[in-house]
Each structure stands twice: as structure tokens, then as C-alpha cells.
Amino acid sequence: MLANSQRVARYAHDKKDMAGHLRRHGIDLVEDLGPVGFTGPHTVARMTNSLNVKFEDKVLEIGTGSGYQSAYLSNLTEKVFSIEIIKPLAERTWALYDSLIARGYGEYKAIAKKSVAERVAIMRDPSFRAKLLEESREPLRSDMAARLTDYDRMFPLGDPPDYEPAQESSLGARARREGRDPREVVYDYLIEGEGKNFIFAPFANFAAYNLDCCSEMMQSPHTLIGLGDGGAHVGLISDGSFPTSLLAHWGRDRASGRLDVSWLVKRHTLDNAKAVGLGDRGRIAPGWKADLNVIDFDKLRVEAPVMKWDLPAGGKRLLQKARGYRATVVSGAVTYRDGEATGALPGKLVRGPQRAT
């Protein structure tokens, strides 16, 4: 849903621009059309996705308006037909579509359904590259977009991933050293490695180009260290690697300011269990739940993430494996051995606070 929203040049469908165009043709947006609002991208996305549109479907939209809805639909299905009874509005929107296509928005859409290998081959074509780079020069219309396109805060993720990269390793810094446009550096990096490269773009807690603030927060008695979900926003981020990064980076690999491994384990297990009322786990003792990880600490590391398109309707998800886990034990049963599932599924739904027996 978010990925499709990001493919639409929303600023080009701006309501103020549309209203000005209509007024020049003697039509007032509010008085003649009613209180027409410009629905936000999340609302449009949720509303449209509820239709469960398939790529082979043909969609008819009644009321083109700004063209944003049909632009969004064009990322879901091969053919979209749209009807608009207000002639100036229809002419304005169709001219907008022609302009976007001419600037390249139709270029990537034409290859979006192809395999990664096919897309990489096309993106290596100099003429295609030139069109997309020209498109990227369109002005940014929000602070969020500006934050997400700060080239000085874009870093090659690498393998093994580096989540605390040096400031001089940013793609923006590389562009300055090479005397190139940072857009070109980003483009070229993304198609290297057969299109499997990832860019690390820290969204928060990296203002000083280090994670010292995170260290301060983790050591606060008012903080729980518990992030580790692997099932939300799977097409954009993967938090499931956090427990491994916590031990490997903060307990072993960080250049300075490393934290004691036993303290990290306690903070990530017993302290969290106490905070949420799970008084039967987080400690190795008689009567406590036998949930354990057997770790080869010298080999512990996360691997580079990979993108898989194996969800329903071709949906994508980020996967990231870890090394160094000799065994994972849940309630006394070995569920993983050397990274491979054993088939044992002893887990049960937890209802309410728990006590050690």
C-alpha cells in the first residue's frame, strides 16, 4: 500500500493548482463542485486496496478529479479508464498525465512488474537512466520527503550490515569526493550487485552520525530494550534482527562504548519479562520456563537483508538471517538447531501475568 503511494507524484495532483486552473475557466471549486477535498494518500490507499484489484482487472473510475486516484490505481492494474464530466478539469488532468509520462513517471511503471534481473538490465540503459534521473530533479514538496532524500544520511548497508556507519561513508560524501550528482551515485549503487544492494537511511537517533544517544537511552532505568518484531511493515523494514544486533554490535563489535554482554542479556530478557508481568521467564532457575538460546558468540552476526516476493498477490517482504545460534529452546524443546527449524512447536498463547512454578 505504501509502496504504491510512493510511486505516485502526489504533489502534481495538488488541489490548489487544480482549483486555480478551474477558476481560470470560470469554475469555482467550492461553489460549483461542492466542498471537494483532496484525500490524503493513506486514505486513498486503504480505500482502493479494499477493492482487492488484481493486475489483470480493468477498472473504471467515475470522476477523474485531480487524477490522483487513477494514478494510484495504475500501479495496481494494467488498465484504468476514467471519466470526468467537467471539461477544464479533464483537460488539466490529461495534460498532467502527459507531462508526468514525458518526465519519466511512465518509464519505471513500464518495468515495475518485471523481474529484478530484467529491471536492472533496463536501468543500465543510458537513455532510461537519463530519464529517471531527470525525473528525480522534481522539487520536494514535504519535510518528510526531504528527510528521506538526504544523501548525507544514505549509506551502503553492506554485508555484514553496518548500522553505525562513518559519516564519510555516506553516498552524499562519496558524490562530493567524485564530483558527481548524488542522484547518480545512488542510482548506480542500487543497480550494482545485480540490484540486490540496500541503502541504510537512519530515520532517527543518528543526528550526530553515531548511536551514542541510543547507548544513553539503553542505560536509562526508564527504558526497556525490547524491539524485535518481524511481522510489521515487512516490505519496508525488518526489526527481527534487533536482538542479534544488540548483542553483536553493542556487546562485541562497537569501536568504543561497548556494553557488558551479561547486562545486555538481562536487559533484553529478565527486565522486559518483569515489566509485562511474565514472572516465569528471563532467568535460568528451577521452576522457570526453559526458554534458551545457545550462542556461539564469536560467530554471532546478522546477514544482509534480502527481498522476497512470496506473499499473497506477489507481495514483498524483507528477510534477514542470523548466524551463531547453535540452538533455540522453547519450554525445554529444541525448535532451531544451527539455524534450521526442527519442526517442534511447543509455544502456547500467553494469557495474563505468569508466575514461576
Domain boundaries, the chain: 2-102, 139-200, 212-355
Distances (CA, A) of 181 to 172, 246, 315, 347: 9, 35, 33, 52
Residue type at position 294: V
Please name the helix (run of DSSP H) or strand (run of DSSP E) that holds residue 262, with its range, or none.
helix 261-268
pLDDT along the chain (357 residues), means of 10: 47 50 49 44 68 77 74 72 78 68 60 86 92 74 68 93 96 97 94 90 91 96 81 77 94 96 96 94 94 97 91 84 96 96 95 91
DSSP state of 310: E
Residue reference for cell 507524484: 9
| pLDDT (0 to 100) of residue 236 | 76
pTM of the full predicted structure?
Answer: 0.69
Strand partners, 336: 328, 341
Q: Are the CB atoms for 240 and 230 separated by under 8 Å?
A: yes
Q: Kindly state the DSSP code that residue 125 receives in the 8-state scheme.
A: S
* Residue 238, CA distances (Å) to 234, 241, 243 in order: 6, 7, 12
DSSP string covering 194-251, please?
A: GGT--EE---SS-TTSSSHHHHHHHTSTT--------SSSTTT---TTHHHHIIIIII
If one looks up domain 2-102 in CATH, what number appears? 3.40.50.150
Residues 6+ apart with CB under 8 A from 82: 60, 61, 64, 67, 70
- Which pLDDT score, from 0 to 100, does residue 19 have? 54
Within 8 A by CB and 6+ apart from 198, the residues are: 156, 157, 161, 304, 305
